[in-house]
Amino acid sequence: MNLNQVTVPSLDVAKAILFYKKLGLQLIVHSSPNYARFSCPDGSSTFSVHQVTEMAKGAGIWVYFENTALDLVVAQLIEKGIKFTEMPNDKPWLWKEAHLFDPDGNKIILFEAGKNRENPPWRINETFLCKK
C-alpha cells in the first residue's frame, strides 16, 4: 500500500491555492471553485483541498511535509510572508519541526527527520504491520 494523496477542507479554495503554491507545491488540477490538487516537489504523492461550507470543530487536521533543509525552507517561506506559530526546533521523537496554519486553520508541520522518520530507535519491526 502507498499513500497517494491527502485532502484537506477549505472555505476558500482560491485562497488555499495561493498559500500552498507559496509553500512550493505545484498546482496540477483546478476544478474552480470546489477543488484543487497539487504535486509535491519531492516524491510522487499529491495533496488537495476541497470546498466545504464549514470547517470541522476541534483540533482538526494536521499535515506533515518533509524537508531535507528545514531551516533554509523556513527562512525562504518567511521571506514570502508565511507566518509560523513555532520555529524549527528539535523534538523528543528525533524530528526537527516548524509549525504554521493554512488560511483555513489546518495545522501544517514542516519537518526534517532523516532516517528517524521510518526507523526511530523504538520502531516496531513486525513484518505484518508494514511491508515495503
For position 13, what pLDDT does the model report?
A: 97
Q: Which CATH architecture has domain 5-53+60-114?
A: Roll (3.10)
Q: Which helix (H) or strand (E) holds 31?
A: strand 26-31
Beta bridge partners of 86: 99
Other CB atoms within a 10 A radius of the CB of residue 125 amount to: 7
Average pLDDT estimate for 63-79: 96
Task: Write b or e for each residue in 60-86: b if 16 or more Cβ atoms lie within 10 A of its Cβ, otherwise e.
Answer: ebeeebbbeebeebbeebeeeebeeee
Q: How many CB atoms lie within 10 A of CB 14?
A: 14
Domain residue ranges of the chain, discontinuous segments joined by +: 5-53+60-114
Assess whether pLDDT exceeds 90 at residue 69: yes
Instruction: Name the nearest CA neighbour of 41 among 5, 63, 65.
Output: 65
C-alpha cell belonging to residue 108: 501544517
pTM to 2 decimals?
0.88
Residues 26-57: tens digit of each pLDDT: 999 999 999 999 999 988 999 999 999 999 88
Is a pLDDT exceeding 70 seen at residue 4?
yes
Instruction: Categorize the per-residue pLDDT at 128 as very low, low, confident or very high, splitting at 50, 70 and 90.
Output: low
- Determine the residue type at 119: N
Out of 23-32, 53-62, 122-131, least confident range: 122-131
